[in-house]
Amino acid sequence: MNGRTLTPLTTRATRLSGLLAILGAFLLDQATKLWALAALGRGEVFAVLPVFNLRLSFNEGISFSLFTETFTGRPLMLAGITLLMTALLGLLLVRSTTRLEAVALGLIIGGALGNVLDRLRIGAVVDFLDFHVWGFHWPAFNLADSAIVIGAMALVASTFIGNRPGQISEETSP
């Protein structure tokens, strides 16, 4: 096989890519949520495009407001579950062998940490992006949610890309 061997330098660069993705996703998410909290009133709708509004809402459940009844009034429970899963993803990040995998995991972790901070700070996740078409509204979301979805898609893509000749891999290291 034509793969390069893993060196401490390539491993560090891969991990650094993941850490930068965590930081970028987290900071961008928090900055936009702070803006939304300052600029938007709860329930107000600001039409930006015919299919896109800014609308401040708060999610006490998980994605798409699922299990809201279960977690309403229990932000610490959901934050704890999320932190546990994030720690497990952090272990995968430390073991990642490709930059795409590390960045994907970093986006997921950064987005999850952004939503955890909301739960700890205000008891719910701040959502404000509202896409709609023909009267159907996609559940409101935020940039943390976007980072999680993009990270998950990139993680799936990284498994399909696999180890190609010339790609860094544990299998090709001595």
Active site residues: 127, 145
| 169 vs 57, residue with greater confidence | 57
Answering whether pTM is above 0.85, one says: no
| Size of the chain, expressed as the number of residues it contains | 174
**CA-CA distance, 136 to 122, in Å (whole number)?**
28
Tell which residue, 137, 130, 142, 154, has the closest CA to residue 21: 154
The answer on pLDDT for 9 being more than 90 is: no
Task: Kindly report, residue by residue over 85-113, the tens digit of the pLDDT.
Answer: 999 999 999 999 899 999 999 999 999 99
- Do residues 79 and 120 make contact, with C-beta atoms less than 8 angstroms apart? yes
| In the chain, domain spans | 8-163
